[in-house]
């Protein structure tokens, strides 16, 4: 007897990623120039997208802070220099070069200063992909070398380790720091060790454990699992829909998690998430997919939905989700059809759509195989496949897919 997969599985993997926040862009070189008193000394601050530069302001004889506005008129000149003791400062003096402009100084000052700030090197590393380089001065750097420079200069190591972890999570690569090899997981361990109050870093540590197939990580002498990380993230930020979603995915069918003293099933996690982010199509699909058999409806934002309505809501929000198409297919029986956007879909057609979107979707390949007759063939992305081919494909993408293995053995 053929079996149609309908349990939680790696089909949900695509819902478990949070990208690093993008770098703030700016259309102007100068965002802010200000002067403040610190320790009874005037400090000039220039803010740019890589960070803020704040240095003591020294004035030549006969000049004072009140004369600073004369820099814009060209009467006075600001330069970046060092004192006898090696302290970096801005120096205000009379301008003997009438061609210098205030913005020219800012440009030159930032060009000289930015290489001394870890945040600048982080911003450069974040822009680079695999096998990409940037020329800074007379030297070329790849993204890992940029982050190494950032680590050597940063005043906020937590932020640098967190951002480096996000980059390595994206590239699936490693980095050598002072002779030790670090993965994305190792970077997030460093980050949460430096700041245990960061919900984002705890989430990313959990996701990294999932991505690299690691069961646990050692944080400050204590072993934590993927599930533990999401729970910690949610205890710090209970309104983080992504952590609720990923915690739900991490839970087995009969498993539960306790967050801030309350126990949650997988379905309840997804329900929390969709109430926080009701425009996420995959969340609607997961809510409908995990609705307990004893329940016919689920309450979301004051309205009741049956399983099919959840999947249709998901599809209306996201037609490019393989997970949504596969879940809709699992709801349709062999002869059932459903109309969507003027097109009629069967379970078979839903699985084909899922595979067209995500060709390595093991669960959808197995499910498609269960809908095909022994001699039936279908064309997917230019490849003609039959029932056996589908099970072979499913196993090639996920060797632990027991449903595909059992279905293949049944054909023998």
Q: DSSP characters for 54-104?
A: EEEEEE-TT--GGGTTHHHHTSEEEEEEE-TT--EEEEEEE-S-TT--HHH
Higher-scoring residue by pLDDT: 240, 131: 240
pLDDT at res. 390:
95
Q: What is the mean pLDDT of residues 164-184?
A: 95
Q: In angstroms, rounded to a whole number, what is the distance separating the alpha carbons of residues 139 and 338?
A: 60
Question: Is 35 within a domain?
Answer: yes
Average pLDDT, the chain: 86
What confidence score (pLDDT) does residue 325 get?
A: 96
> What is the per-residue pLDDT for 59?
85
pLDDT beyond 70 at 3:
no
What lies within 8 Å, CB to CB, of 293 at 6+ separation is: none
Q: Is 104 strand, coil or helix? A: helix
Task: Tell me if 68 is assigned to some domain.
Answer: yes
CA dihedral 371, 377, 379, 383 (to 10 degrees): 120
- In this structure, is residue 373 part of a structural domain? no
Q: What is the pLDDT of residue 152?
A: 93
- In this prediction the pTM is 0.75
- Name the CA dihedral angle for 175, 179, 181, 184, rounded to a multiple of 10 degrees: -50
Confirm whether 325 is domain-assigned: no
254 falls within a domain = no
Give the pLDDT band (50/70/90) at residue 27.
Answer: very low
Answer whether residue 110 is part of any domain. yes
Tell me how far apart the alpha carbons of residues 355 and 73 are, in angstroms, rounded to a whole number: 65
Is the model's pLDDT at 226 over the cut of 70? yes
Interatomic CA distance for residues 168 and 171, integer angstroms: 5
Of 112-121, 259-268, 270-279, the poorest mean pLDDT is in 112-121
Buried b (16+ CB within 10 A) or exposed e, 131-159: eeeeebeeeebbbbbbbbbbbebbeeebb
pLDDT of 136 higher than 80: no
Say which residue, 118 or 1, is predicted with more confidence: 118
Beta bridge partners of 54: 45
pLDDT at 103 over 60: no
**What single DSSP character describes residue 143?**
H
Q: Write out the residue range of the structural domain in which residue 90 sits.
A: 28-49+51-116
Structural domains of the chain, count: 1
142 Cβ contact list (under 8 Å, min separation 6): 128, 131, 132, 133
In a domain, 75, yes or no: yes
Share of the chain above pLDDT 70, in %: 86
Tell me the angle at which helices 281-289 and 322-331 cross, rounded to the nearest 10 degrees.
30
Among 52-61, 176-185, 288-297, the least confident range = 52-61
Average pLDDT over residues 189-210: 97
Residue 89: pLDDT band (50, 70, 90) is confident
* Reported confidence tier of residue 106, pLDDT bands at 50, 70, 90: low
Average confidence (pLDDT) over 344-372: 96
Q: Is a pLDDT exceeding 90 seen at residue 171?
A: yes
CA distances from 82 to 57, 328, 389 (A): 11, 67, 71
**Measured distance CA(354)–CA(311) in Å, rounded:** 14
Q: Is 160 among the domain residues?
A: no
């Amino acid at each position: 007897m053929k079996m149609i997969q309908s349990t939680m599985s790696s089909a949900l993997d695509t819902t478990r990623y949070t990208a690093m926040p993008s770098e703030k862009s700016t259309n102007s070189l100068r965002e802010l120039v200000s002067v403040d008193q610190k320790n009874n000394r005037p400090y000039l601050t220039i803010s740019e997208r890589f960070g803020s530069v704040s240095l003591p302001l020294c004035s030549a004889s006969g000049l004072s802070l009140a004369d600073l506005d004369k820099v814009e008129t060209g009467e006075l000149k600001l330069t970046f220099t060092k004192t006898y003791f090696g302290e970096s400062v801005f120096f205000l003096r009379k301008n003997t070069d009438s061609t210098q402009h205030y913005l020219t100084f800012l440009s030159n000052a930032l060009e000289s200063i930015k290489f001394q700030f870890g945040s600048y090197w982080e911003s450069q590393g974040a822009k680079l992909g695999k096998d990409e380089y940037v020329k800074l001065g007379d030297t070329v750097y790849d993204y890992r070398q940029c982050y190494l420079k950032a680590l050597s200069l940063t005043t906020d190591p937590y932020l640098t380790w967190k951002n480096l972890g996000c980059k390595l999570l994206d590239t699936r690569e490693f980095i050598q720091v002072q002779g030790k090899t670090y993965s994305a997981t190792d970077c997030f361990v460093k980050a949460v060790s430096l700041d245990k109050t960061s919900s984002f870093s705890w989430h990313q540590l959990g996701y990294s454990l999932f991505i690299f197939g690691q069961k646990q990580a050692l944080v400050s002498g204590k072993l934590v699992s993927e599930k533990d990380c999401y729970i910690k993230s949610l205890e710090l930020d209970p309104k983080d829909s992504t952590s609720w979603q990923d915690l739900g995915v991490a839970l087995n069918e009969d498993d539960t998690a306790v967050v801030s003293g309350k126990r949650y099933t997988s379905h309840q996690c997804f329900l929390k998430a969709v109430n926080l982010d009701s425009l996420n199509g995959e969340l609607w699909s997961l809510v409908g997919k995990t609705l307990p058999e004893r329940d016919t409806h689920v309450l979301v934002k004051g309205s009741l939905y049956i399983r099919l309505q959840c999947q249709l809501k998901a599809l209306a929000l996201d037609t490019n989700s393989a997970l949504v198409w596969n879940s809709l297919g699992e709801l349709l029986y062999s002869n059932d059809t459903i109309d969507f956007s003027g097109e009629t879909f069967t379970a078979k057609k839903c699985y084909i759509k899922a595979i067209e979107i995500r060709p390595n979707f093991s669960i959808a390949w197995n499910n498609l195989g269960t809908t095909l007759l022994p001699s039936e063939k279908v064309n997917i992305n230019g490849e003609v496949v039959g029932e056996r081919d589908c099970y072979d494909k499913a196993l090639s993408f996920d060797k632990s897919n027991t449903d595909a293995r059992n279905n293949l053995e049944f054909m023998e």
